[in-house]
A = this chain, B = another copy of it.
């Protein structure tokens, strides 16, 4: 098995792979901000204006000069002259002179002269034009100052940010109704195998439906890429070569979900080497499932040969395709990954010193979750379809014992 002489650890394989991918230069387009959820900013966003543009009250109450309220208490209230009510959405027509106060609502503009607001609940009307304060206010209390949120010219969002709901709101608050985002990188996807047929066909005996190219497309789209499917190539060097060549010409990256046999892997590897430099970088990764993974770069375009088994294909896509999609879309590396902590419910043995990813189901219990490993053959399509997540067993361990704490990465 010459191609497995050197199985590379996953981390090393990732480094080797990314070291050969040129800096991402995503194409960009301008789109309305309201449609930009999940899209990736092409560059940093600089505030075109100051936010808020004026000092505002954060409560319902009375706008005052803070020193006028000092010492006010239930026992010794302070009385100020009521000079008006701040209208919502407009400039107050008055200013606050010493010993003056004005009714102000949440969001109302602080009148000239005022520097604090006393909350309504600590006040009462003494006479028609006099308010009684039972509490003092410090300078700045219950107000938000002009520019306290954002100053004009400040960078508010970094390039590469994948936009979330709060950020859509933030952009619109600044009047940014259009944003420049990266166009999702295009991933050409090919399947190969004489036994593989499109899913809408009924398999004859010995045939199986293509599923990897569809689950892979979904994973690519989920992570901000665009999947372009090229269909199924027979196990025939010329046919596969010309399909890969076409896919490389038309996309930013190519993924081949090859058959799992050694001859198919060798063919995929040979074609990647022929179609661009440096060609195959990694052939065989020390991970289970997914050992027969091929990572290459053809003239600057990442080209990946995924194992044919559905579980292997998706685990490996999570390890190597997902980061490439994010990288080519312009997102920064090293984002935090959330997980669900759980207690392993059964022993899992990984005797061969290979990093292992094991599908688990999460079972809610009184003291948190149990992670129930799904003992799987990587050919079983419904293993991952019925799992909640994956746990990683490091290469150094020989497995994990029931009762150990594990991190379940949801899938």
A113 to chain B, nearest CB (A): 16
The answer to whether B214 and A121 have CB atoms under 8 Å apart is no
Q: Which of A121, A194, A202, A216 counts the most chain B CB atoms within 10 A?
A: A194
Check: A206 CB closer than 8 A to any chain B CB.
yes
Contact with B along A322-364 (1 / 0, CB 8 A): 0000000000001011111100000000000000000000101
B107 engages A193 (CB within 8 Å): yes
Answer yes or no: A242 CB below 8 A from chain B CBs: no
- Which of A167-175, A274-282, A395-403 contacts its partner? A167-175
Stoichiometry, as copies per complex, reads 2
Which of the residues B109, B168, B205, B261 comes within 8 Å of A218, measured between beta carbons? B168
Whether B106 pairs with A260 at a CB distance below 8 angstroms is yes
Which residues of chain A from 18 to 69 have a CB within 8 Å of any chain B CB? 33-34, 37-38, 51-54, 56, 58, 60
Alpha-carbon gap, A218 to B38, bound state (A): 9
Chain B nearest Cβ from A54, distance in angstroms: 6
Stretch at the interface among A142-150, A180-188, A246-254: A142-150
Q: Which of B109, B177, B205, B380 lies in contact with A109, CB distance below 8 A? A: B205
Would A107 and B261 count as touching, CB distance under 8 A? yes
Q: Which residues of B contact A337 (CB under 8 A)?
A: 340
Q: Is A6 an interface residue (CB 8 A)?
A: no
From residue 115 to 169 of chain A, which have CB atoms closer than 8 A to chain B?
120-121, 144, 148-150, 156-157, 164-169
In the complex, what residue of chain B is closest to A36 when comparing beta carbons?
Answer: B218
Chain B residues contacting A338 (CB-CB under 8 Å) are: 338-340, 408-410
Residue A239 at the B interface, CB < 8 A?
no
Among A7-15, A87-95, A298-306, the stretch that binds chain B is A87-95
Closest CB-CB distance, A365 to chain B, in whole Å? 12
Interfacial chain B residues near A216, Cβ < 8 Å: 165
How far is A380 from B339 in the complex, measured between Cα atoms in Å?
A: 29
Does A244 reach chain B (CB closer than 8 Å)?
no
By the criterion CB–CB under 8 Å, are A106 and B381 in contact? no
Contacts of A54 in B (CB 8 A): 205-206
Contact of A91 among B58, B148, B165, B206 (CB under 8 A): B206
Q: Using known A-B contacts A172-B199, A172-B211, determine if residue A150 contacts B259 with beta carbons closer than 8 Å.
A: no
Smallest CB–CB gap between A262 and chain B, Å? Answer: 5
Are B53's CB and A388's CB within 8 A?
no
Cβ < 8 Å to B, chain A residues 365-411: 369, 377, 379-382, 384-388, 408-411
Contact of A259 among B87, B107, B121, B209 (CB under 8 A): B107
What is the minimal beta-carbon distance from A375 to any residue of chain B, in angstroms? 12
- Collect the chain B residues with CB atoms within 8 Å of residue A208's CB: 52, 107, 173
Contact status of A173 and B107, CB under 8 A, knowing A88-B195, A385-B157? no
- Could you tell me the distance in whole angstroms from the C-beta of A51 to the nearest C-beta in chain B? 7
Chain B residues near A169: list those with CB within 8 A. Answer: 211-212, 214-215, 218, 310, 314, 381, 385
CA distance A1 to B217 in the complex (A): 55
Structural contact, A164 and B218, CB atoms closer than 8 A:
yes
A354 to B240, CA, bound (A): 63
Interface centre among A164, A196, A216 (most CB of B within 10 A): A164
Interface CB pairs A-B, < 8 A, 5: A90-B207, A165-B219, A169-B314, A173-B208, A338-B340
Q: A105-B263, A106-B259 are in contact. List 11 more A-B contacts (CB 8 A).
A: A87-B194, A89-B195, A90-B195, A105-B259, A106-B261, A150-B381, A157-B386, A165-B216, A166-B384, A168-B214, A169-B218
